[in-house]
A and B are shown apart, each in its own frame.
Chain A
Amino acid sequence: MASSIRVRATANGDITEVQTLIQHPMDTGLVKDAKGEAIPAHFIQQLKFECNGKDVFVADWGTAVSKDPYVKFSFKGAKKGDELKISWTDNKGGSDTITAKIA
């Protein structure tokens, strides 16, 4: 299965910019379906970025993060070719992980 995580990490000098797009419904639990039944909450709770054995960015999310979440941040200390590991876990115990090379 294709990964739910799409990532672009680009090093420019000492600074690496990371843009991430994840496919996830991010259901709030407040929306009703066509039959009037509530769609249960289903959302990513934690998203973590690791590079060279160190956490470089940790996101804790609630239901107010948009469907198919996007996040952008930058960090120092990595170079082209280093590996960036991205992983998320959701409130139903789902998870996904990907490793991207910094370009």
Chain B
Amino acid sequence: MTTTTGPHPTRRLILQGAASVALLGLGNLPFAAAPALAAANDKYPEEAFKLKNEADAIKALYGRTAEPSDKIKLDAPEIAENGGVVPISVTVTLDKVTSISFFVAENPNALAASYRIPEGTLPAIANRLKMAKTTNVTAIVEADGKLYSATKEVKVTVGGCGG
């Protein structure tokens, strides 16, 4: 049998490989500390998702403001017939991208989705978002510790709030 790091190996456990293997070897010693740390590292930014205003949400998520960049290519339809499903994609040509987030300014809560980009993952994402009405969509990109943004307006003919 090969040594495994339990049913849900995490980066942290693997980093602490020697320690965890030793602990596993000893049987059911509690090692709640390692998973707790990993969870804190990958924490869901609950507060940022609750904020209504785009600027507040950006600040809550990243703690600073972004500057516009032409190295972010934000693809969104000019007119969305159904605000419930708007395809949005972004491709970034900056180096060392660590995070990409999408904000929909006119939605009840501006932050729509936030993606963590580990090393080796390409800074290009496609997803589908809801939009309440005609609005600006902003992609915020964190690269090499700095914050960049790109914005595009989407005209929505039927809102995505089902109202």
Contacts and interface: CB of A to CB of B under 8 A. Distances in A.
Interface of A: 15, 28, 30-32, 45-46, 48, 53-67, 69-77
A63 B118 CA distance: 24
A58 B115 contact: yes
A66 B113 contact: no
A54 B86 CA distance: 31
A62 B49 contact: yes
Taking each of A45, A48, A57, which has the highest tally of chain B beta carbons within 10 Å of its own beta carbon? A57
B122 A74 contact: yes
Contacts, number: 111
A31 B161 contact: yes
Contacts of A72: 89, 125-127
A100 B112 CA distance: 27
25 contacts: A28-B130, A45-B44, A48-B42, A53-B11, A54-B14, A55-B42, A57-B115, A58-B42, A58-B116, A58-B118, A59-B116, A60-B116, A62-B112, A63-B49, A63-B130, A65-B113, A65-B129, A66-B130, A66-B160, A67-B85, A73-B121, A73-B122, A75-B121, A76-B120, A76-B121
B121 to A, nearest CB: 4
Interface string B123-157: 01111111100000000000000000000000000
Contacts of A67: 84-85
Taking each of B86, B89, B125, which has the highest tally of chain A beta carbons within 10 Å of its own beta carbon? B125
A48 B118 CA distance: 12
Contacts of A74: 121-122, 124
